Amino acid sequence: MTKQQVGLLFGGRSGEHEVSISSARAIAKALLSADNASRYTLYPFYISKVGEWHGPEVAQGVLDSGQPLNAEDGDTVNLWCFPPEASQITVWFPILHGPNGEDGTIQGLLQLMQVPFVGSGVLGSAVGMDKLAMKSAFAQAGLPQVAYREIRRHEIWSNPCVFPKLCDEIDAVLGYPCFVKPANLGSSVGISKVRSRAEFEAALDSAASYDRRVIVEAAVANAREVECAVLGTDNPRVSVIGEIRFQSDFYDYETKYTAGQADLLIPAPLPDTITRQIRELAAQAFTAVDASGLSRVDFFYQEETGEIFLNEINTLPGFTATSMYPQLWDATGISFPELVHQLLAFALEETDG
User: Per residue in 239-260, pLDDT tens?
Assistant: 999 999 876 555 445 545 555 6
Q: Are 182 and 214 in contact (CB under 8 A)?
A: yes
- Residues 208 and 151: their CA atoms lie apart, in Å, by 9
All residues at 6 or more sequence positions from 147 whose CB lies less than 8 Å from its CB, including other chains: 173, 174, 217, 218
- Residues 344 and 334: their CA atoms lie apart, in Å, by 14
- Assess whether pLDDT exceeds 80 at residue 54: yes
- Residues 146 and 211: their CA atoms lie apart, in Å, by 21
All residues at 6 or more sequence positions from 91 whose CB lies less than 8 Å from its CB, including other chains: 4, 5, 6, 7, 115, 116, 117, 118, 344, 347, 348
List the 40-47 sheet strands across, edge first: 53-54, 40-47, 4-11, 91-94
pLDDT at 347: 97
Which pLDDT band, with edges at 50, 70 and 90, does 120 fall under? very high
- Assess whether pLDDT exceeds 90 at residue 268: yes
Give residue-wise pLDDT tens across range 135-155. 999 999 999 999 999 999 988
- Assess whether pLDDT exceeds 80 at residue 31: yes
Of 202-206, 238-242, 283-287, give the lowest mean pLDDT range: 202-206
Distances from the Cα of 136 to the Cαs of 105, 110, 131, 148, 175, in angstroms?
A: 21, 27, 9, 11, 21
